Amino acid sequence: MLIPRSLLAWLVILGLAIANGVLREEILIPALGKPGGLILSGVLLSMLIVLVAYGVVRFTRDLTASKVLLIGVLWLSLTLAFEFSFGRFVQHKSWAELLDAYAFKEGNIWPVVLVVTLLAPYLAFRLRARDL
């Protein structure tokens, strides 16, 4: 049950990331400028990922630290596979353009969001254990 639930959670994260991207491009960047919009968008998406992770942890029994770390690895792997596949085959971006998203410049904190994606299930697991 853990893998299907983790995949469903990642699809929720994907939907939230797409909505966050629309919010960033349509509202945040016009209102705050590129650096401010990118930073706020990255922080918002990171918080949403942690909330989804907390939901998974809250409603899944028999979790261990190693299982939640595996969920994080799964989410990170799916995110990277999606980013590079969509960027290359749908948006027809070059490798240089794709890799540019991983540079800290002009407020871009996408690499931080990826670290949060990896660690969010573990952080949620630790928070949940503290709450019990």
pLDDT interval class at 103 (50, 70, 90): very high
Instruction: Report percent pLDDT > 70 for the chain.
Output: 98
Share of the chain above pLDDT 90, in %: 92
What is the rounded average pLDDT of the residues 4-11? 96
- For the segment 10-26, what is each residue's pLDDT rounded down to a tens digit? 999 999 999 999 999 99
Kindly tell me if the per-residue pLDDT of 46 is higher than 70. yes
Mark residue 108 as left, alpha or beta (left: phi above 0; alpha: psi -120 to 50; beta: remaining): beta
Long-range contacts of the stretch 55-59 (C-beta < 8 A, 24+): 55/9, 56/5, 56/6, 56/9, 56/121, 56/124, 57/121, 57/124, 57/125, 57/127, 57/128, 58/124, 58/128, 59/5
pLDDT of residue 130: 81
Helix (H) or strand (E) holding 91: none
What pLDDT sits at residue 132? Answer: 59
